[in-house]
């Protein structure tokens, strides 16, 4: 049976959301603090399967003297890969730095009011030199993120804060090994004459895109014919491989396949929840109650100084019971102290077995102390605790630790805007479980350092996202065992782990980000400065420096030196000296790309040892490891080899702005260097 396919792209102007914003420049002078919005914005978005690499280039014109910081509202799922800036005609780049003390926002310091609304994980970068009135500074930020797949849809969002003006240029390039389907282009954006739409490729370029009160996003589907695993892997030379594995349950789930749940909604009505917070909490609880399944059971507990259950035990979620529960929630008023421990223990004590999927939805600002281990001890029947943290002063570390220790999740709602959308996103994720208590295994057993530490339940329309290292490339079988409505169940997925060092060069950084997240969770369970705590910290520092990732102990810093093309992350461009052994000889090779960034053309210089003949291949590649153009292949007659190249495709069309890789193969040795193309 042939499935009808639609190749379209959806570009939406969504409602205002203060949690989404483009970068801003902060200038702090003697007489005050100023916010500098950009006067120009260019964006390149490259999406390969579900991995998006975004390069944002902003121009700022400074009107006051003072110290500068750049801030960007980075998603907690995104990882910065480079920060570069140009001032006075010279490009500079951030380099990695480490510290034994925890660095807020990766070393950029605490956010000022300038960065209000930048979310829970903003990227803040302090510049070494002061700015002067009249200066122009161009800032280029590149970050990578694994996009979520929900109900078969993949969504990408570009943050934009300014309520007027234009995005000067947006280049969107989507490619997949699977067919791209079920999207459409927004009529207000219009079509471009050079747009490309095929089964597996979408490429559009837009100029002067409106960014009033919204954010630009794209949404699409990757066609699936049922149970499958998509694997993105790479195998660097002389080390173990890295893999991201994305397992998709069958897309069509019958009602009888959904596990029944016992929900307890625990609502904080203490005095600290007064004002907008209690309204947000009520809204969240009511939405969840209105979307219970018919086979679910439910109870509600409100608490301040005292703990007040609606019912003494869970009741069937009949329409009448749901209506009564909603009325109980609507009466809640904020007053009194905060007895979080009493409320959570009371909720956990209502669970008698693990036959159903046991869930607590906890709505609070977290303004109290919690004995985390006591909660874990009281959780005897595998109850998942999902947290809605509300308010601008929510205790995020405490609530994140609570959710993580109890196999749940967390959503922080700091501002009133778009509250319902945020609530719906988390609740709809946990509404329909189809496999509980999953356990992973690999055959052959060559995969290690796997994220997540505990595999969450499998929900309708959601992926299982795994990341790990592997010691042996080749075919592998991933087995997921758990329990569904019929009892024990087993799903197997075929996964091919590549031996190619040129594919999916972004995967090591994504794996390292996942690994660091897991290590931070492990650190929370240890006494600070204990041997184990220091062991985890040192490993985080090693990974942060190796893969150029901002962590509580590593950050980008401005060392005041011009950019040499080296971002400190391992896949570097610019001038690189490589040393290799052959027998008893030490062979030294150097490679230079100038200028870098490249606008129209550049000079590549390769120096080989005298009298040492080798075959040389130089290829330009995109971030997915695909060859864009072969620049040279042959055997240089001279030891000093110079090549002029134009920043164009083989058909003569200019390359899109963004980050590319030069793959230089000298004999059997392969090196990768990144090069920035700007316009």
Rounded-to-integer distance, Cα 202 and Cα 192, Å: 12
Rounded-to-integer distance, Cα 554 and Cα 548, Å: 8
Task: Look up residue 211 and give its two tokens.
Answer: 């960014």
Judge if 292 and 215 occupy the same domain: no
Question: Can you spell out the DSSP letters for 295-359?
Answer: T-EEEEEEESSSEEESSSS-EE--HHHHHHHHHHHHT----S---HHHHHHHHHHT---SSSEEE
The neighbouring-strand residues paired with 626 are none
- pLDDT > 80? residue 2: no
| 339 domain-assigned | yes
Rounded-to-integer distance, Cα 570 and Cα 672, Å: 9
Alpha helices of 163-309 — where are they, by DSSP H? 276-290
Three-point CA angle 152, 154, 157, nearest 5°: 155
Task: Look up residue 195 and give its two tokens.
Answer: 């747009």
Instruction: Give the range among 111-120, 475-484, 576-585, 614-623 with minimum mean pLDDT.
Output: 576-585
Q: Rounded to two decimals, what is the model's pTM?
A: 0.72
Judge if 191 and 292 occupy the same domain: no
- Strand pairing category for 658-666 and 90-93: unpaired
| 512 domain-assigned | no
Asked whether the beta carbons of 460 and 440 are under 8 A apart, the reply is no
In total, the chain counts a number of residues equal to 679
Which comes out higher in pLDDT, residue 545 or 397?
545
Going across the sheet that includes 585-594, the strands are: 576-582, 585-594, 601-607, 640-646
Three-point CA angle 163, 426, 362, nearest 5°: 115
| 479 domain-assigned | no
- Strand pairing category for 315-316 and 384-390: unpaired
Residues of the chain by 3-state class (helix, strand, coil), percent to 5: 15, 45, 40
Judge if 204 and 316 occupy the same domain: no
Which comes out higher in pLDDT, residue 394 or 286?
286
Give the contacts of 125 (CB within 8 A, at least 6 positions apart). Answer: 69, 70, 71, 83, 94, 108, 556, 558
Rounded-to-integer distance, Cα 213 and Cα 161, Å: 7
Of 365, 359, 356, 466, nearest in space to 406 by CA: 359
Judge if 423 and 282 occupy the same domain: yes
Question: Can you spell out the DSSP letters for 196-222?
Answer: EE-SSEEEEEEEEEE-TTS-EEEEEEE
Give residue 277's pLDDT band: very low, low, confident or very high (50, 70, 90). Answer: confident
- What are the tens digits of pLDDT across the range 610-657? 555 567 888 888 765 678 888 888 888 777 778 888 888 887 888 877
Rounded-to-integer distance, Cα 50 and Cα 145, Å: 8
Which comes out higher in pLDDT, residue 561 or 268?
268
Task: Look up residue 132 and give its two tokens.
Answer: 């002067």
| Residue whose entry in the numeric block shows the structure tokens 């077995």 | 353
The average confidence (pLDDT) of the chain is: 78
Rounded-to-integer distance, Cα 48 and Cα 178, Å: 10
Task: Look up residue 378 and give its two tokens.
Answer: 């009281």
Which structural domain, as residue segments, surrounds residue 646? 576-677
Of 468, 421, 422, nearest in space to 448 by CA: 468
> For position 379, which CATH number holds?
3.40.50.410
Judge if 187 and 318 occupy the same domain: no
Judge if 153 and 54 occupy the same domain: yes
- What are the tens digits of pLDDT across the range 152-187? 788 888 776 555 567 788 888 888 877 887 554 433
> For position 580, which CATH number holds?
2.60.40.1930
Judge if 195 and 89 occupy the same domain: yes
Going across the sheet that includes 201-210, the strands are: 90-93, 78-87, 136-146, 51-61, 40-48, 166-175, 201-210, 196-197
- What are the tens digits of pLDDT across the range 556-581? 888 888 876 544 443 333 333 333 33
Asked whether the beta carbons of 505 and 234 are under 8 A apart, the reply is yes
What is the total count of domains within the chain?
A: 3
Which comes out higher in pLDDT, residue 474 or 110?
474
Judge if 329 and 272 occupy the same domain: yes
| Residue whose entry in the numeric block shows the structure tokens 């490589």 | 578
Three-point CA angle 653, 158, 466, nearest 5°: 100
The domain boundary, picked from 222, 241, 274, lies at 222
Output the pLDDT for position 185.
41
Judge if 208 and 274 occupy the same domain: no
The domain boundary, picked from 370, 399, 431, lies at 431
Is residue 597 reached through a cis peptide bond, with omega within 30 degrees of 0 on the bond before it?
Answer: yes
Judge if 316 and 186 occupy the same domain: no
Rg of the chain over CA atoms, in angstroms? Answer: 26
| 529 domain-assigned | no
Judge if 183 and 268 occupy the same domain: no
| 54 domain-assigned | yes
Judge if 195 and 272 occupy the same domain: no
Task: Look up residue 462 and give its two tokens.
Answer: 């959601």
Query: 210, exposed or middle or buried, with CB in 10 Å at 0-12, 13-18, 19+?
Result: middle
| 569 domain-assigned | no
The domain boundary, picked from 406, 431, 456, lies at 431
Output the pLDDT for position 587.
38
Output the pLDDT for position 548.
86
Task: Look up residue 160 and give its two tokens.
Answer: 């934009």
Give the contacts of 638 (CB within 8 A, at least 6 positions apart). Answer: none
Give the H/E segment covering residue 523: helix 507-524
Which comes out higher in pLDDT, residue 188 or 349?
349
Of 430, 385, 394, nearest in space to 412 by CA: 394
Task: Look up residue 224 and give its two tokens.
Answer: 């699936």
- pLDDT > 50? residue 7: no
What is the rounded average pLDDT of the residues 427-444?
Answer: 84
| 559 domain-assigned | no
């Amino acid at each position: 049976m042939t499935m009808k396919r639609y190749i379209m792209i959806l570009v939406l102007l969504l409602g205002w959301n203060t949690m989404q914003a483009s970068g801003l420049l902060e200038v702090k002078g003697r007489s005050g603090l100023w916010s500098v919005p950009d006067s120009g914005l260019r964006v390149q978005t490259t999406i390969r399967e579900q991995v998006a690499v975004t390069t944002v280039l902003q121009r700022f014109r400074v009107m006051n003297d003072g110290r500068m910081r750049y801030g960007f509202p980075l998603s907690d799922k995104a990882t910065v890969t480079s920060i570069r800036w140009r001032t006075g005609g010279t490009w500079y780049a951030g380099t990695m730095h480490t510290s034994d003390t925890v660095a807020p926002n990766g070393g950029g310091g605490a956010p000022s009011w300038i960065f209000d609304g930048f979310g829970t994980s903003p990227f803040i970068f302090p510049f070494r030199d002061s700015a002067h009135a009249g200066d122009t500074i161009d800032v280029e930020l590149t970050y990578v993120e694994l996009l979520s797949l929900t109900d078969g849809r993949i969504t990408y969002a570009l943050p934009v804060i300014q309520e007027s003006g234009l995005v000067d240029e947006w280049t969107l390039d989507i490619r997949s090994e699977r067919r791209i389907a079920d999207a459409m282009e927004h009529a207000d954006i219009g079509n471009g004459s050079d747009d490309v739409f095929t089964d597996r490729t979408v490429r559009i370029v837009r100029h002067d895109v409106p960014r009033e009160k919204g954010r630009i996003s794209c949404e699409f589907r990757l066609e699936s014919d049922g149970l499958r695993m998509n694997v993105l892997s790479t195998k660097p030379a002389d080390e173990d491989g890295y893999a991201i594995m994305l397992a998709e349950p069958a897309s069509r789930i019958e009602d009888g396949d959904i596990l029944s749940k016992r929900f307890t909604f625990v609502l904080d009505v203490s005095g600290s929840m007064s004002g907008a917070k209690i309204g947000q909490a009520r809204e969240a609880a009511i939405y969840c109650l209105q979307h219970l399944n018919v086979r679910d059971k439910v109870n509600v507990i409100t608490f301040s100084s005292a703990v007040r259950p609606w019912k003494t035990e869970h009741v069937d979620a009949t329409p009448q019971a749901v209506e009564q529960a909603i009325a109980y929630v609507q009466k809640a008023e904020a007053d009194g102290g905060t007895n979080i421990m009493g409320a959570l223990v009371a909720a956990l004590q209502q669970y008698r077995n693990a036959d159903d999927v046991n869930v607590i939805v906890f709505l609070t600002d977290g303004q109290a102390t919690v004995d985390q281990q006591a909660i874990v001890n009281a959780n005897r029947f595998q109850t998942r605790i999902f947290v809605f943290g509300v308010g601008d002063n929510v205790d995020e570390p405490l609530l994140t630790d609570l959710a993580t220790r109890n196999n749940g999740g967390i959503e922080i709602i700091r501002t009133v805007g778009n509250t319902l959308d945020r609530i719906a996103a988390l609740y709809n994720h946990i509404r329909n479980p189809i496999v509980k208590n999953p356990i992973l295994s690999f055959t052959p057993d060559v995969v290690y350092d796997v994220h997540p530490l505990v595999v969450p339940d499998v929900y309708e329309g959601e992926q299982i996202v795994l990341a790990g290292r592997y010691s042996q490339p080749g075919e592998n079988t991933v087995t997921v065992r758990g329990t569904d409505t019929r009892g024990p169940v087993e799903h197997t997925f075929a996964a091919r782990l590549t031996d190619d060092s040129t594919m999916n060069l972004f995967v090591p950084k994504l794996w390292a980000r996942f690994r660091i997240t897991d290590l931070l969770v492990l650190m929370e369970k240890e006494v600070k400065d204990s041997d184990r705590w220091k062991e985890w910290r040192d490993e985080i520092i090693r990974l942060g420096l190796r893969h150029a990732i901002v962590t509580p102990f590593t950050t980008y810093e401005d060392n005041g030196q011009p950019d040499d093309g080296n971002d400190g992350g391992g896949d570097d461009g610019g001038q690189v000296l490589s040393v290799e052994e052959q027998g008893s000889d030490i062979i030294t090779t150097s490679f230079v790309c100038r200028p870098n960034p490249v606008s129209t053309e550049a000079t590549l210089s390769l120096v080989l040892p005298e009298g040492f003949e080798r075959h040389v291949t130089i290829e330009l590649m995109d971030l997915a490891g695909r060859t864009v153009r072969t620049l040279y292949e042959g055997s240089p007659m001279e030891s000093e080899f110079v090549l002029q190249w134009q920043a164009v495709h083989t058909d003569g069309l200019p390359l899109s702005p963004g980050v590319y890789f030069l793959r230089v193969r000298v004999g059997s040795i392969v090196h990768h260097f990144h090069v920035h193309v700007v316009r």
